[in-house]
């Protein structure tokens, strides 16, 4: 059910009324013009001639057209220009407006367009009942399985709910502009959207600034690494720290970097026996199956260290050659 605090407007005999707890009050044209959007418009059963039909095998978006064609094939054309309907399962309740309604609608179109939804007493009863009798506009009708069978009620007529619900909403194809019911929310919505955009753009600009600053810092740090000759190292910061002697673990970093360079210059025919680091001089002792592999190791080690690598000792053996090489760091 709708909240009882919502405003109800009742339409009957070309006149609009405001429904209040103590009754209904007739509304003037000025009062109608001053109505705030969002009210519920209830159309009197006396303004409508009701009929029903089976739901056609067609898309819902074409339902207006199918109902119009059905009415034109059943009633005089002048009675079919204005109608409303409500579907329930595979049945449709149709309300046809009188010819006199056309003039009233032209004059008060905004009253219809500003309504949150439009309904009628019969629509509420039809929504919740399949088999019943009802008096609409002084005419007794009998409904079986949601289809109007005749105009002679076979049981006590049901009374409409005094508080309609949105479930009993009627569709009025000729009321094109239904957005008017939300006009009172447009300004607050626009303000909220504007605030959201301002905050979003502000956050984006701040984030963009942070990214630019981070990029500049990374470029500056990379420049320092390149100038220090450690840019190609796996841990340029650690190596730079080691070179500067600014850490108590600098000797450990130094050892790791030496091992890294030797590993890069190493080939599968070189066997490591020992590595001796004294000050800034490194002596590597090992063996190889052939002197040619030793020369290859010497060249690669010189390439990765950027230093002069000297072969200081070689001893020929049955299975190859043992050697010692030396370079500075």
Virtual torsion, Cα 240, 244, 250, 253, nearest 10 deg: 20
Alpha carbon distance 11, 32 (integer Å): 12
Q: Is residue 64 domain-resident?
A: yes
Strands (E), 36-107: 40-43, 48-54, 83-88, 91-97
Q: Is residue 3 part of a domain?
A: no
> Is the alpha carbon torsion for 256, 257, 261, 262 positive or negative?
negative
**What's the CATH code of the domain at 291?**
3.30.1360.100
Report pTM. 0.53
| Three-state secondary structure call for residue 273 | strand
Question: Is 271 within the bounds of a domain?
Answer: yes
- Residues 144, 73 within the same domain: yes
Say whether both 161 and 284 belong to one domain.
no
Residue 306 lies in a domain: yes
Domain housing 207: 182-228
Are 149 and 26 in a shared domain? yes
Between 250-265 and 236-244, two packed helices, what is the crossing angle to 10 degrees?
120
> Are 92 and 142 in a shared domain?
yes
Taking each helix axis from N to C end, the angle separating 186-228 and 236-244, rounded to the nearest 10 degrees, works out to 50
Residues 220 and 266 in one domain: no
**Claim to verify: residue 215 and residue 160 sit in the same structural domain:** no
Of the candidates 73, 198, 43, 67, the residue with the CA atom closest to the CA atom of residue 136: 43
Helix (H, G, I), strand (E, B) or coil at 108: coil
Is residue 2, in this structure, part of any structural domain at all? Answer: no
User: Which residue's entry shows tokens 């119009």?
Assistant: 68
> Is residue 75 included in any domain, yes or no?
yes
Measured distance CA(23)–CA(26) in Å, rounded = 10
Cα angle 106-112-116, degrees, rounded to a multiple of 5? 165
Q: Are 74 and 121 part of one and the same domain?
A: yes
Q: Please tell me whether residues 210 and 246 are part of one structural domain.
A: no
Number of domains within the chain: 3
Q: For position 2, what pLDDT does the model report?
A: 47
The label of the residue with tokens 């981070």 reads 214
Q: Decide the pairing of beta strands 117-119 and 40-43.
A: parallel
Residue 36 lies in a domain: yes
Shared-domain flag, residues 173 and 48: yes
Residues 13 and 43 in one domain: yes
pLDDT of res. 138:
80
Q: Do 158 and 77 sit in the same domain of this protein?
A: yes
Give me the tens of pLDDT residue by residue for the chain, a chain 329 residues long: 444 467 899 999 889 999 888 888 999 999 999 999 989 999 999 999 999 998 766 666 788 888 888 888 888 877 788 999 999 988 999 999 988 888 899 999 999 999 999 999 999 999 999 999 998 878 888 999 999 887 665 678 888 877 788 899 999 998 875 544 455 556 777 788 888 888 887 787 888 777 887 787 777 777 777 767 777 766 676 666 666 555 545 556 567 777 878 888 878 888 888 888 887 889 999 999 888 888 999 898 888 888 898 888 899 888 889 999 999 87
3-state secondary structure of 159: coil
């Amino acid at each position: 059910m709708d909240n009882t605090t919502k405003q109800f407007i009742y339409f009957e005999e070309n006149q609009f009324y405001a429904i209040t707890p103590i009754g209904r009050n007739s509304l003037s044209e000025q009062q109608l013009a001053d109505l705030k959007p969002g009210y519920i418009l209830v159309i009197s059963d006396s303004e409508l001639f009701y009929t029903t039909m089976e739901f056609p095998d067609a898309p819902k978006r074409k339902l207006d057209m199918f109902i119009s064609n059905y009415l034109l094939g059943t009633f005089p054309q002048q009675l079919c220009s204005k109608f409303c309907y409500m579907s329930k399962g595979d049945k449709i309740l149709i309300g046809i407006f009188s010819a006199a309604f056309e003039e009233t609608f032209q004059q008060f179109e905004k009253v219809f367009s500003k309504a949150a939804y439009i309904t009628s007493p019969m629509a509420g009863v039809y929504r919740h009942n399949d088999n019943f009798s009802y008096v609409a506009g002084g005419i007794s009708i009998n409904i079986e399985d949601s289809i109007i069978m005749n105009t002679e009620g076979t049981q006590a007529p049901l009374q409409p709910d005094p508080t309609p619900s949105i479930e009993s909403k009627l569709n009025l194809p000729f009321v094109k502009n239904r957005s008017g019911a939300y006009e009172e929310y447009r300004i607050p919505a626009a303000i909220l959207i504007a605030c959201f955009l301002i905050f979003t753009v502000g956050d984006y600009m701040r984030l963009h600034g942070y990214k630019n600053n981070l990029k500049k810092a990374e470029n500056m740090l990379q420049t320092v690494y390149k100038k220090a000759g450690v840019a190609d190292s796996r841990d340029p910061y650690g190596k730079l720290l080691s070179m500067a002697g600014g850490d108590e673990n600098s000797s450990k970093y130094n050892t790791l970097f030496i091992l890294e360079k030797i590993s890069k210059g190493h080939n599968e025919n070189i066997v490591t026996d020992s590595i001796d680091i004294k000050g800034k001089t490194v002596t590597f002792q090992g063996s190889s199956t052939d002197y040619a592999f030793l020369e290859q190791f010497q060249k690669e080690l010189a390439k990765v260290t950027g230093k002069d690598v000297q072969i200081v000792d070689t001893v020929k053996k049955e299975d190859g050659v043992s050697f010692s090489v030396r370079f500075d760091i």
